[in-house]
Amino acid sequence: MDKILVHGGRSLEGDVRIGGSKNSALPILAATLLTKEKCVIDRVPDLSDIHYMLTILGRLGAEVERASGVVQIRAEKIITEAPYEIVRKMRASVCVLGPLLGREKSAKVSLPGGCVIGDRPIDLHLKGFEALGAKVTVKGGDIILSADKLTGARINLRGRHGPTVLGTGNVMMAAVLAEGTTVIEGAAEEPEVIDLARDQMGLKLSASQLHAADGRVWLREHRGEFDVVSVIPDRIEAGTFLVAGAIAGKRVTITRTEPRHLEAVLTALRTAGFDLSLTSDSVTISPNGSRRPLHLETLPYPGFPTDMQAQFCAMLATMEGTSVVTETVFPQRFMHVAELKRMGATIDLDDHRATIHGVERLSGAPVMASDLRASAALVLAALPADGVTEINRVYHIDRGYEAIDEKLNGLGAHIERVKA
């Protein structure tokens, strides 16, 4: 098991290229189960979660080839059972339920694992499947779906804390091969959901509804014999490197990104006093000496993303004044706070709200990563800290960041990856 050593105090400067979106690639890969035809997906990031998904697809019978960010999949013959041993490491494995149900009218998939960031039930996924005509049984840790046929329906997928991103994609994938039209109300509007809908299934999309119709899968570029799907840039990786530039940078430019997907993050950084310069596919961040505290509230897209909350907590912990961060999407998602306090941060946690009293400087300390975004937050906090920060359980960070240590070193950081 690896750990990361961050030698703090170095300034960051330069350009960093953003990889393909993990949260877009995972459901796109699952959607290949909908067709017997060969599918080619480009710009697939090299992440452990992607590896797990490709392993699951292989165990379900798909032929999988991968080279240099391009994945080719042919799911000509598939089975419909994914046992616990292959889905336990990743919550997104649940998104194979939709395509298996849509294509084979049956599925048996173990309840998934993944990051522990609070209660994340899949009841809305199951509600959507039932509305399409499936019989749903949960027994012995397995989700069992069956249907004589699937019929389009009007389904509301809005939950207590907002829309369900994976649930919207999952129900879309089941509905694309159902008879008739499905309308999903309260659908998630994240760019990753829109990417799945528009580019992979030929669905018509409006702001609050997804209209699914029968049709071919795989649109977009055409290279020779096969249609090729290109994964959108990862907006959370982009936001993370912008915060790295804010917390320790002279001038940092992220390239091959989609600034329109980052509007809430960019607004927060501007409000906090950072200078931003945008092009159609890049963002440059520079400090201007007038940092200001923030009051942030996480919300479903296009609001401020919950997946950026931990990184902003790390930044605000070193900024003068008192900031307040309210988590409305996953109220229990504050396990990074205890580790930041080990580094000298002053944070008061009250239920789903963190009050952060900025300090002049943090100090390096041994810390433990609890989940994917918490891992990134600890790396960011360590960049300007005094001394060396030892971050353990960094397998979490490899789930969603491709070579984050190498990319930060390329900007001037001093980070080592060693065996624990």
**pLDDT tens digits along 45-99:** 999 999 999 999 999 999 999 998 999 999 999 999 988 888 887 878 899 999 9
Q: Which residues pair with 354 in a beta bridge?
A: 325, 349
Domains in the chain: how many in total?
2
- Strands 2-7, 135-139: pairing kind: unpaired
Ramachandran class of 403: left when φ > 0, alpha when ψ lies in -120 to 50, beta otherwise: left
Domain-terminating residue out of 211, 230, 249: 230
Residues 44 and 101 in one domain: yes
Report the C-alpha gap between 166 and 174 in whole angstroms: 12
Q: What is the DSSP string of 176-232?
A: TTSBS-EEEET----HHHHHIIIIIS--EE-SSEEEE-S--S--SEEETTEEEEEPP
Residues 215 and 271 in one domain: no
Residues 216 and 275 in one domain: no
Q: Residues 29, 31, 36, 40: what is their CA dihedral angle, to the nearest 10 degrees?
A: -40
- Here the CATH number for the domain that contains residue 6 is 3.65.10.10
DSSP state of 233: B
Closest Cα to residue 285, out of 318, 259, 319, 320?
A: 259
Report the C-alpha gap between 103 and 189 in whole angstroms: 25
pLDDT band at 221 (very low <50, low <70, confident <90, very high): very low
pLDDT over 90 (residue 24): yes
Report the C-alpha gap between 192 and 232 in whole angstroms: 8
Which residues are CB-contacts of 68 (< 8 A; sequence separation ≥ 6)?
Answer: none
Domain-terminating residue out of 180, 207, 230: 230
Residues 278 and 403 in one domain: yes
**pLDDT tens digits along 248-274:** 989 999 999 999 999 999 999 999 999
- Strands 142-146, 106-110: pairing kind: antiparallel
Which H/E stretch holds residue 270? helix 263-271
Look up tokens 């616990």; give the residue: 84
**pLDDT tens digits along 338-375:** 999 999 999 999 999 999 999 999 999 999 999 999 99
Q: Which residues pair with 15 in a beta bridge?
A: 253
Q: What is the DSSP string of 107-132?
A: EEEEPP----SS----HHHHHHHHHT
Residues 122 and 182 in one domain: yes
DSSP state of 11: P
Residues 281 and 343 in one domain: yes
Domain-terminating residue out of 176, 208, 230: 230
Residues 134 and 222 in one domain: yes
Residues 193 and 252 in one domain: no
Angle between helices 372-382 and 235-248 (to 10 degrees): 20
Whole-number Cα distances in Å, 101 to 144, 178, 211:
10, 10, 18
Residues 262 and 324 in one domain: yes
**pLDDT tens digits along 273-330:** 999 999 999 999 998 778 999 999 999 999 999 999 999 999 999 999 999 999 999 8
Res 197: pLDDT: 84
Other beta carbons within 10 Å of 148 = 9
Catalytic residue list: 115
Residues 118 and 167 in one domain: yes
pLDDT band at 224 (very low <50, low <70, confident <90, very high): very low
Measured between alpha carbons, how far apart are the two ends of the chain, in Å?
6
Which residue range forms the structural domain that includes residue 274?
A: 2-19+233-419
Residues 164 and 254 in one domain: no
Residues 172 and 26 in one domain: yes
**What global pTM score does this model have?**
0.92
Q: What is the DSSP string of 327-347?
A: --SSTT--THHHHHHHTT-EE
Whole-number Cα distances in Å, 190 to 29, 132, 155, 165, 391:
17, 23, 18, 7, 31
